[in-house]
């Protein structure tokens, strides 16, 4: 049953993403962008230790880096609009930010390796240097690769989650994942000869550019948007369906028949349940998240294009936040 659901989801997402990529992209982002961030926030709160202990330096590096990188990333569009940079100068700025991101990730991986006494993560330095070199050779392509790689991180979270909560399902899940490159290959084969999508308005242009149409003019924008949309749909599916439905049950939990009712139960969040925890802070964070989701929906309804630009700029924070929590689950 689990395998059948996974296969149907993968094939269904591929079908919708290939059929009407622009329209489905608009609807998908409108409906699921905000809620999936809220579910990510709650999941991260569940994984946050009450006391950092030996992980103090790890989390300090994670939070300081996350705040610094987010602030600098949000400021990049302001620098771009200032129109004082040449194309080479702008690419240098992007490459510099990407380098800071790589250094931050490399330090996090190194710190995590120090906590795993039986692990040898010597590969961190050469991989970081190799990625950094590629970034400086082509910072725009490096940034585009991040756009396509990020949705796949959710699949890694689901893998770690199953290993802890449904270990007997893990082999089935990994077997089904072998279909992913096959489905992507079929999409590429089927859509590679299609006509590029019409960019009749600013919104359609933004969607195609976000998928790399300007950097890859020789590739059909229909293919690019469809592939990126497909990965994003899988990403949303993991955070909105798979992880909440497969969440661990708490002893004495009265919401077994409705997993989504459990997300409002603070007793399922160790940071709120522990005697030394912070239940009020957790509750405030979750309700602030709800307000932000509602504000995002209102913004999309009033001015979709502008709200989409703002969202994808600020959303870089949640993209980076996934790194330390995924490392903690390894």
Instruction: Bin 252: left if φ > 0, else alpha if -120 < ψ < 50, else beta.
Output: left
Q: How confident is the model at residue 255 (pLDDT cuts 50, 70, 90)?
A: very low
Asked whether residue 202 carries a pLDDT value surpassing 90, the answer given is no
Q: Which residues, 6+ apart, have CB-to-CB distance to 202 below 8 Å?
A: 305
Place of tokens 């692990």: 119
| Cβ pair 316, 147 in contact under 8 A | no
pTM of the model: 0.90
Q: How confident is the model at residue 249 (pLDDT cuts 50, 70, 90)?
A: very low
Nearest to 234 by CA among 1, 3, 2, 17: 17
Q: Which residues, 6+ apart, have CB-to-CB distance to 146 below 8 Å?
A: 319
Say how far apart CA 84 and CA 86 lie, in whole Å.
Answer: 7
Terminal Cα distance for the chain, rounded: 27
Structure tokens at 266: 């603070």
**How confident is the model over 86-139, as pLDDT tens digits?**
667 788 889 999 999 999 999 998 888 877 766 666 778 888 999 999 999 999
| Cβ pair 321, 66 in contact under 8 A | yes
Say how far apart CA 223 and CA 212 lie, in whole Å.
Answer: 10
| Cβ pair 135, 98 in contact under 8 A | yes
């Amino acid at each position: 049953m689990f395998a059948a659901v996974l296969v149907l989801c993968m094939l269904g997402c591929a079908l919708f993403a290939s059929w009407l990529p622009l329209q489905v992209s608009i609807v998908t982002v409108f409906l699921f962008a905000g809620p999936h961030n809220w579910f990510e926030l709650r999941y991260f709160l569940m994984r946050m230790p009450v006391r950092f202990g030996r992980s103090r330096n790890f989390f300090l590096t994670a939070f300081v880096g996350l705040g610094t990188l987010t602030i600098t990333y949000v400021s990049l569009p302001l620098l771009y609009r200032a129109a004082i940079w040449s194309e080479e100068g702008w690419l240098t700025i992007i490459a510099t930010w990407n380098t800071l991101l790589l250094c931050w990730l490399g330090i996090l991986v190194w710190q995590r390796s120090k906590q795993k006494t039986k692990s040898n993560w010597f590969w961190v330095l050469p991989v970081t240097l190799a990625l950094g070199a590629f970034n400086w050779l082509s910072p725009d392509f490096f940034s585009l690769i991040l756009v396509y790689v990020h949705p796949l991180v959710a699949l890694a979270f689901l893998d770690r989650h199953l290993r802890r909560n449904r270990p007997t399902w893990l082999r089935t899940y990994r077997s089904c994942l072998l279909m992913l490159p096959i489905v992507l290959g079929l999409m590429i084969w089927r859509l590679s000869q299609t006509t590029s999508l019409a960019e009749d308005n600013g919104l359609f242009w933004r969607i195609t550019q976000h998928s790399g149409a300007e950097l890859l003019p020789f590739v059909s924008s229909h293919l690019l948007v469809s592939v990126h949309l497909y990965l994003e749909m899988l990403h949303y599916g993991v955070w909105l369906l798979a992880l909440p439905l497969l969440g661990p049950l708490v002893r004495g939990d009265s919401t077994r028949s409705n997993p989504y009712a459990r997300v409002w139960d603070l007793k399922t969040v160790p940071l709120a349940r522990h005697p030394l925890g912070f239940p009020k802070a957790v509750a405030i964070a979750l309700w602030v998240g709800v307000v932000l989701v509602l504000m995002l929906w209102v913004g999309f309804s009033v001015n979709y294009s502008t709200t989409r630009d703002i969202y994808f700029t600020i959303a870089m924070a949640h993209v980076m936040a996934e790194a330390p929590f995924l490392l903690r689950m390894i």
